[in-house]
A and B are shown apart, each in its own frame.
Chain A
Amino acid sequence: MSARGRWVVLVLLILAPLGLWLAGTDRPAPLALVSSSPVGPAEVRLTFSADADPALSHIAVATADGRQLEAGPVTAGPGHVLSVPVQSVGAGAYTVAYHVIGTRGEQVSGVIRSGGGDAAAADEDALAALPGHEHEHGIDPLSGILLAINLLVVLTVAALLLRPRRLTAVRLRVPGWLPGVSQPS
Chain B
Amino acid sequence: MSLNRTGHRVALNVFLVVTLAHWAEHLVQAYQIWVLGWARPQARGVLGQFYPWLVKSEWMHYGYAAVMLAGLFLLRPAFTGRARTWWTVALAIQFWHHIEHFLLLWQAQTGHNFFGKPVPTSLLQVLYPRVELHLFYNSIVFIPMIIGMYLHLRPNRRELEDAPCDCVAVESRPAVAVA
Chain B residues with Cβ below 8 Å from A101 are 39, 41-42
* Pairwise interchain contact A28-B38, C-beta atoms closer than 8 A: yes
State in angstroms the CA–CA spacing of A165 and B27 once bound together. 30
Total interface residues on B, using CB and 8 Å?
55
Q: A-B contact count, CB below 8 Å?
A: 137
Q: Which of A71-79, A115-123, A166-174 contacts B (4 or more CB under 8 A)?
A: A166-174
Q: Does A22 contact B (CB under 8 A)?
A: yes
- Bound-state Cα–Cα, A105 to B136, Å: 24
Residue B108 lies at the interface, judged by CB distance under 8 Å to chain A: no
Residues of B with C-beta under 8 A to A175: 178
Q: Is A27 among interface residues, defined by CB-CB distance under 8 A?
A: yes
Flag if B131 contacts A144 (CB, 8 Å).
no
Instruction: Count A interface residues, CB 8 Å.
Output: 49
Q: Which of chain B's residues has its CB closest to A146's CB? A: B139
Q: Quick one: CB contact mask for A123-137 with B, threshold 8 Å, 1 for yes?
A: 000000000101110
Cβ of B41: which chain A residues have Cβ within 8 Å of it?
56, 101, 135
| Most B Cβ at <10 Å: residue of A27, A136, A146 | A146
The smallest C-beta distance from A19 to any residue of chain B, in angstroms, reads 11
The interface residues of chain A, by DSSP majority, are classed as loop
Distance between Cα atoms of A151 and B24 in the complex (Å): 9
Q: Is the CB of A21 within 8 A of B146?
A: no
> Are B157 and A179 interface neighbours, CB within 8 A?
yes
The yes or no answer to A176 lying at the interface (CB within 8 A) is yes
A167 and B170 within 8 A (CB) = yes
Report chain B residues within 8 Å CB of A149: 139, 143
Taking beta carbons and an 8 Å cutoff, which residues of A are in contact with B?
A: 18, 21-22, 25-28, 53, 56, 101-102, 104-107, 132, 134-136, 139-140, 142-144, 146-147, 149-151, 153-154, 157, 160-161, 165, 167-177, 179, 183-184
